[in-house]
Amino acid sequence: MAMNKVPGHNIYIGGLFSLRNKVALSRANITHIVSVLRLQPTDDTFLAYQHHHIGVDDVEDENLLEHFPAAIEFIQSGLDAGGGVLVHCAMGKSRSATICIAYLLHRQRSAFTPQSALALLRESRPLCEPNPGFMKQLELYHHMGCPTDVTSHPAYSRWLYHREVEESVACGRAPELNSILFEDEQPQQQDDTAGELTEVKCRRCRRKLAIARFVVPHGAQQDVKAAITSECAHIFLNPLTWMRPSLFPNSPDPSADLASEDAPLSGRLTCPNTSCGANIGKFAWQGMQCSCGDWVVPAIGLARARVDISEPVTIRRGSGNLAPGIRLPPNMRSSTVDTSNTGPTSERDPAKGSL
């Protein structure tokens, strides 16, 4: 099949065959070629062109995301120089379409979604269809804001961590300690300060275990607030530093960069307060099913019956929802904290919880 023009852009998509049609390449004034497949290093087809090579296979778990910025910059340099750019893979279906969509998203982030950019490509080349893994990478890229530096973005680190957990579990073992992304050691994003003041504490000793932004919503839960106030038996968390002894009982020294070969695939979570040591939940890298029926993978779940949720007293005084001096009957006070808190755990008076 011939190569096809991306509507509105001097960019063409094609398969390997499109490289042979020198007349068409010349007619389209192709000066730059992006090859998104594994090539023989001796191939001299590209000598007459500026060439950018991304050696990846068309499989869902291939990391194409990390190649987006360089490919986009290369495509842009070709267009800026007044040339045409051919983006090709083997069939002109999945890999090349993914790169073209990434380019469109980067150029006009607010005008496109991955789906609408794909629809544009299909106007001229109906067979375009990134594999599901590449579509997810495009969605993540779009969600990240189409940055020129993908790999230092926190969302990229999380994505890599999830990939590594999946790969380890597929081989029947726990991920290695050095591949775990401890969420409390990550730089905080500016937009996720909401819910910072809500704390999850050990019911027995009151030790703080997590704040709201470390909670992982699941199932029908839309956000961390829903996750905290739900009726589910578990509150799922991202990995946190205090969990190391539970998750990696054989790697006691955090600075030791040893592969924890004997780390268990699943086990109990114990309270990090050594004088408490209560059993507060369990983890399963291969995932576990919550009481609501949803599977969470990987699963690090605090048992709701073993923890308390509290909002520090300061949230009332500093919230500014009420003019100072206005007193409410006791049964109305909880509504000043958060009117949407209707779950069973949130009805406890937070002030009492900190005693």
| Catalytic residue list | 89
Identify which of 345, 255, 259, 351 has the alpha carbon closest to the alpha carbon of residue 306.
Answer: 345
CA dihedral over 244, 250, 256, 259, signed as positive or negative: negative
Residue pair 297/286 in contact (Cβ under 8 Å)? The answer is yes
Stretch binding Zn ion (CB under 5 A), from 61-69, 135-143, 267-275, 315-323: 267-275
Closest approach of Zn ion to the CB of residue 210, in Å: 13
Should residue 19 be labelled a site residue for Zn ion when binding is judged by CB under 5 A? no
Give how far the C-alpha of residue 296 lies from the chain's centroid of Cα atoms, to the nearest Å.
15
Stretch binding Zn ion (CB under 5 A), from 73-81, 161-169, 231-239, 240-248: 231-239
Closest approach of Zn ion to the CB of residue 354, in Å: 15
- The CA-atom distances, in angstroms, between 213 and each of 50, 126, 183, 209, 236 are 46, 42, 9, 12, 11
CA dihedral over 289, 295, 298, 303, signed as positive or negative: negative
Q: Provide CB contacts within 8 A for 172, sequence distance 6+.
A: 265
Closest approach of Zn ion to the CB of residue 202, in Å: 3
Should residue 122 be labelled a site residue for Zn ion when binding is judged by CB under 5 A? no
Stretch binding Zn ion (CB under 5 A), from 62-70, 84-92, 218-226, 248-256: 218-226
Should residue 204 be labelled a site residue for Zn ion when binding is judged by CB under 5 A? yes
Cβ atoms within 10 A of the Cβ of 82, count?
9
246 three-state secondary structure: helix
- If the CB atoms of residues 64 and 296 are measured against Zn ion, the closer one turns out to be 296
Should residue 202 be labelled a site residue for Zn ion when binding is judged by CB under 5 A? yes
Should residue 232 be labelled a site residue for Zn ion when binding is judged by CB under 5 A? yes
Closest approach of Zn ion to the CB of residue 304, in Å: 10
Site for Zn ion in 292-351 (CB under 5 A): 292
Should residue 205 be labelled a site residue for Zn ion when binding is judged by CB under 5 A? yes
Residue ranges binding Zn ion (CB under 5 A)? 202, 204-205, 207, 219, 232, 271, 273, 276, 278, 290, 292
